[in-house]
Chains A and B, each alone.
Chain A
Amino acid sequence: QVQLQESGPGLVKPSQTLSLTCTVSGGSISSGDYYWSWIRQPPGKGLEWIGYIYYSGSTYYNPSLKSRVTISVDTSKNQFSLKLSSVTAADTAVYYCARVWYSSSWEIFDYWGQGTLITVSS
Protein backbone atom coordinates (compact mmCIF):
# COMPACT_ATOMS: atom_id res chain seq x y z
CA GLN A 1 0.00 0.00 0.00
CA VAL A 2 1.43 3.32 -1.07
CA GLN A 3 1.57 6.00 1.59
CA LEU A 4 2.54 9.64 1.35
CA GLN A 5 3.45 11.85 4.28
CA GLU A 6 4.00 15.60 4.24
CA SER A 7 6.46 17.23 6.61
CA GLY A 8 7.58 20.77 7.25
CA PRO A 9 7.06 23.77 9.53
CA GLY A 10 3.43 24.63 10.19
CA LEU A 11 4.04 28.36 10.52
CA VAL A 12 5.76 30.59 7.97
CA LYS A 13 6.29 34.32 8.20
CA PRO A 14 5.06 36.62 5.41
CA SER A 15 7.58 37.14 2.59
CA GLN A 16 9.48 33.99 3.56
CA THR A 17 9.68 30.68 1.69
CA LEU A 18 7.39 27.77 2.50
CA SER A 19 9.20 24.42 2.29
CA LEU A 20 7.52 21.01 2.44
CA THR A 21 8.70 17.48 1.80
CA CYS A 22 6.62 14.45 0.88
CA THR A 23 8.01 11.03 1.76
CA VAL A 24 6.67 8.13 -0.28
CA SER A 25 6.56 4.61 1.14
CA GLY A 26 5.25 1.34 -0.23
CA GLY A 27 6.33 2.17 -3.77
CA SER A 28 9.15 3.71 -5.74
CA ILE A 29 9.02 7.35 -6.76
CA SER A 30 11.11 6.31 -9.77
CA SER A 31 8.28 4.29 -11.30
CA GLY A 32 7.55 5.59 -14.74
CA ASP A 33 3.76 5.52 -14.45
CA TYR A 34 3.34 8.40 -12.04
CA TYR A 35 3.64 12.11 -11.50
CA TRP A 36 4.10 13.43 -7.99
CA SER A 37 1.92 16.39 -7.16
CA TRP A 38 1.20 19.16 -4.68
CA ILE A 39 -2.34 20.44 -4.14
CA ARG A 40 -3.57 22.92 -1.56
CA GLN A 41 -6.88 23.75 0.07
CA PRO A 42 -7.38 27.10 1.84
CA PRO A 43 -9.58 26.84 4.95
CA GLY A 44 -13.18 26.35 3.92
CA LYS A 45 -12.34 26.58 0.23
CA GLY A 46 -11.77 24.31 -2.75
CA LEU A 47 -8.78 22.47 -4.12
CA GLU A 48 -6.00 24.18 -6.06
CA TRP A 49 -3.41 22.27 -8.06
CA ILE A 50 0.09 23.64 -7.47
CA GLY A 51 2.06 21.43 -9.82
CA TYR A 52 3.71 18.08 -10.32
CA ILE A 53 7.00 16.44 -11.13
CA TYR A 54 8.11 13.31 -12.93
CA TYR A 55 10.90 11.24 -11.40
CA SER A 56 13.25 12.46 -14.12
CA GLY A 57 12.77 16.02 -12.89
CA SER A 58 10.33 17.33 -15.50
CA THR A 59 7.94 19.77 -13.87
CA TYR A 60 4.54 21.27 -14.60
CA TYR A 61 3.25 24.22 -12.59
CA ASN A 62 0.01 26.11 -12.09
CA PRO A 63 0.56 29.29 -14.15
CA SER A 64 -0.86 31.46 -11.36
CA LEU A 65 1.87 30.21 -8.98
CA LYS A 66 4.66 29.43 -11.42
CA SER A 67 6.82 32.45 -10.60
CA ARG A 68 6.98 31.42 -6.92
CA VAL A 69 6.97 27.61 -7.05
CA THR A 70 9.72 25.02 -7.27
CA ILE A 71 9.04 21.30 -7.06
CA SER A 72 12.01 18.95 -6.88
CA VAL A 73 12.55 15.22 -6.45
CA ASP A 74 15.13 13.14 -4.57
CA THR A 75 14.87 9.59 -5.84
CA SER A 76 17.53 8.34 -3.42
CA LYS A 77 15.29 9.28 -0.50
CA ASN A 78 12.01 8.52 -2.27
CA GLN A 79 10.91 12.08 -1.58
CA PHE A 80 9.72 15.12 -3.46
CA SER A 81 9.57 18.68 -2.22
CA LEU A 82 7.75 21.99 -2.61
CA LYS A 83 9.14 25.47 -2.20
CA LEU A 84 6.81 28.48 -2.41
CA SER A 85 8.50 31.84 -2.10
CA SER A 86 7.27 35.26 -0.99
CA VAL A 87 4.30 33.86 0.87
CA THR A 88 1.37 35.93 2.08
CA ALA A 89 -1.68 35.18 4.21
CA ALA A 90 -3.40 34.02 1.02
CA ASP A 91 -1.06 31.04 0.97
CA THR A 92 -2.46 29.74 4.25
CA ALA A 93 -3.91 26.33 3.41
CA VAL A 94 -3.79 22.61 3.95
CA TYR A 95 -1.10 21.34 1.61
CA TYR A 96 -1.44 17.83 0.23
CA CYS A 97 1.04 15.73 -1.67
CA ALA A 98 -0.46 13.17 -4.02
CA ARG A 99 0.47 10.54 -6.55
CA VAL A 100 -0.92 10.95 -10.05
CA TRP A 101 -1.33 7.69 -11.94
CA TYR A 102 -1.29 8.42 -15.62
CA SER A 103 -1.75 6.57 -18.86
CA SER A 104 -2.74 7.49 -22.38
CA SER A 105 -6.34 7.37 -21.15
CA TRP A 106 -6.34 9.05 -17.77
CA GLU A 107 -4.59 10.97 -15.05
CA ILE A 108 -5.88 10.02 -11.61
CA PHE A 109 -4.89 11.52 -8.28
CA ASP A 110 -5.05 8.13 -6.58
CA TYR A 111 -3.07 8.39 -3.34
CA TRP A 112 -2.96 11.43 -1.10
CA GLY A 113 -1.03 12.40 1.98
CA GLN A 114 -3.05 13.33 5.05
CA GLY A 115 -2.33 16.99 4.45
CA THR A 116 -0.55 19.57 6.58
CA LEU A 117 -1.88 22.96 7.60
CA ILE A 118 0.50 25.77 6.78
CA THR A 119 -0.27 29.12 8.35
CA VAL A 120 1.35 32.30 7.09
CA SER A 121 1.53 34.79 9.93
CA SER A 122 4.02 37.01 11.65
Chain B
Amino acid sequence: QSVLTQPPSASGTPGQRVTISCSGSSSNIGSNYVYWYQQLPGTTPKLLIYRNNQRPSGVPDRFSGSKSGTSASLAISGLRSEDEADYYCAAWDDSLSGWVFGGGTKLTVL
Protein backbone atom coordinates (compact mmCIF):
# COMPACT_ATOMS: atom_id res chain seq x y z
CA GLN B 1 0.00 0.00 0.00
CA SER B 2 1.64 3.23 -1.17
CA VAL B 3 1.62 6.38 0.95
CA LEU B 4 0.59 8.43 -2.09
CA THR B 5 -2.58 7.25 -3.82
CA GLN B 6 -2.91 7.14 -7.60
CA PRO B 7 -5.52 5.49 -9.80
CA PRO B 8 -4.07 2.23 -11.15
CA SER B 9 -5.05 3.04 -14.71
CA ALA B 10 -6.07 5.85 -17.06
CA SER B 11 -6.79 5.97 -20.74
CA GLY B 12 -7.52 8.30 -23.60
CA THR B 13 -7.56 8.57 -27.34
CA PRO B 14 -4.97 10.42 -29.40
CA GLY B 15 -5.37 14.16 -29.10
CA GLN B 16 -7.35 13.97 -25.88
CA ARG B 17 -6.43 15.49 -22.54
CA VAL B 18 -6.05 13.16 -19.57
CA THR B 19 -5.31 13.84 -15.95
CA ILE B 20 -3.76 11.61 -13.32
CA SER B 21 -4.35 12.36 -9.67
CA CYS B 22 -2.10 11.83 -6.68
CA SER B 23 -3.49 12.07 -3.17
CA GLY B 24 -1.39 12.40 -0.05
CA SER B 25 -1.42 14.08 3.34
CA SER B 26 -0.22 17.15 5.17
CA SER B 27 3.16 15.54 5.87
CA ASN B 28 4.03 14.94 2.24
CA ILE B 29 2.15 16.70 -0.57
CA GLY B 30 0.69 19.24 1.83
CA SER B 31 4.08 20.55 2.86
CA ASN B 32 6.54 19.56 0.15
CA TYR B 33 7.04 19.67 -3.59
CA VAL B 34 5.54 17.01 -5.84
CA TYR B 35 7.51 15.32 -8.59
CA TRP B 36 6.24 13.22 -11.49
CA TYR B 37 8.17 10.45 -13.24
CA GLN B 38 7.37 8.65 -16.48
CA GLN B 39 8.42 5.05 -16.96
CA LEU B 40 8.13 3.88 -20.55
CA PRO B 41 7.87 0.10 -21.01
CA GLY B 42 11.16 -1.61 -20.29
CA THR B 43 12.96 1.58 -19.30
CA THR B 44 13.94 3.43 -16.14
CA PRO B 45 11.89 6.29 -14.70
CA LYS B 46 12.42 9.74 -16.20
CA LEU B 47 11.64 13.07 -14.53
CA LEU B 48 8.61 14.81 -16.06
CA ILE B 49 7.68 17.47 -13.51
CA TYR B 50 9.53 18.92 -10.52
CA ARG B 51 8.56 21.45 -7.87
CA ASN B 52 4.84 20.76 -8.52
CA ASN B 53 4.65 22.31 -11.98
CA GLN B 54 8.12 22.83 -13.47
CA ARG B 55 9.19 20.99 -16.61
CA PRO B 56 12.82 20.03 -17.18
CA SER B 57 14.24 21.04 -20.53
CA GLY B 58 13.25 18.57 -23.20
CA VAL B 59 9.87 17.71 -21.68
CA PRO B 60 7.07 18.85 -24.02
CA ASP B 61 4.69 21.52 -22.76
CA ARG B 62 1.88 18.99 -23.30
CA PHE B 63 2.79 17.81 -19.81
CA SER B 64 1.77 19.98 -16.88
CA GLY B 65 1.56 19.57 -13.13
CA SER B 66 -0.50 21.21 -10.42
CA LYS B 67 -0.97 20.93 -6.68
CA SER B 68 -3.74 21.94 -4.33
CA GLY B 69 -3.64 21.18 -0.64
CA THR B 70 -2.77 17.51 -0.18
CA SER B 71 -3.42 16.49 -3.78
CA ALA B 72 -1.60 16.89 -7.05
CA SER B 73 -2.37 16.21 -10.69
CA LEU B 74 -0.50 15.52 -13.87
CA ALA B 75 -2.21 16.60 -17.08
CA ILE B 76 -1.27 15.40 -20.53
CA SER B 77 -2.82 17.25 -23.44
CA GLY B 78 -2.71 16.29 -27.10
CA LEU B 79 -2.28 12.66 -26.11
CA ARG B 80 0.10 10.65 -28.31
CA SER B 81 0.75 6.94 -28.60
CA GLU B 82 4.27 7.40 -27.23
CA ASP B 83 2.80 8.71 -23.97
CA GLU B 84 1.71 5.17 -23.11
CA ALA B 85 3.66 4.51 -19.93
CA ASP B 86 3.48 4.23 -16.16
CA TYR B 87 3.40 7.53 -14.27
CA TYR B 88 4.49 7.97 -10.66
CA CYS B 89 4.12 10.87 -8.26
CA ALA B 90 6.64 11.37 -5.48
CA ALA B 91 7.17 13.67 -2.51
CA TRP B 92 9.27 13.91 0.61
CA ASP B 93 7.36 12.92 3.74
CA ASP B 94 8.26 14.91 6.85
CA SER B 95 6.75 12.37 9.26
CA LEU B 96 8.59 9.44 7.72
CA SER B 97 11.72 11.49 6.92
CA GLY B 98 11.90 9.82 3.56
CA TRP B 99 10.71 9.78 0.00
CA VAL B 100 7.30 8.29 -0.81
CA PHE B 101 5.98 7.31 -4.21
CA GLY B 102 2.54 6.70 -5.54
CA GLY B 103 1.62 3.22 -6.68
CA GLY B 104 1.79 4.31 -10.29
CA THR B 105 -0.81 4.87 -13.00
CA LYS B 106 -0.68 2.89 -16.23
CA LEU B 107 -1.73 5.17 -19.08
CA THR B 108 -3.16 3.47 -22.15
CA VAL B 109 -3.60 5.34 -25.41
CA LEU B 110 -6.59 3.75 -27.14
Contacts and interface: CB of A to CB of B under 8 A. Distances in A.
B92 A107 contact: yes
A68 to B, nearest CB: 15
Interface residues of B, number: 22
B45 A106 contact: no
Nearest to B4: A46
A110 B33 CA distance: 16
User: Most chain-A CB neighbours within 10 Å: which of B45, B97, B98, B100?
Assistant: B98
Nearest to A107: B92
A96 B44 contact: yes
Interface string A103-122: 00111111011110000000
Contact of B98 (A61, A108, A114): A61
Interface string A39-69: 0000001111101000000001111000000
A107 B92 CA distance: 9
A60 B98 contact: yes
A26 B35 CA distance: 25
Contact of B47 (A45, A63, A110, A114): A110
Interface string B6-50: 000000000000000000000000000101010000001101001
B37 A46 contact: no
Interface residues of A, number: 21
A85 B33 CA distance: 32
Nearest to A100: B99
Contacts of B110: none
A45 B97 contact: no
B44 A63 contact: no
B98 A47 contact: no
A112 B92 CA distance: 19
A48 B44 contact: no
Interface of A: 45-49, 51, 60-63, 96, 105-110, 112-115
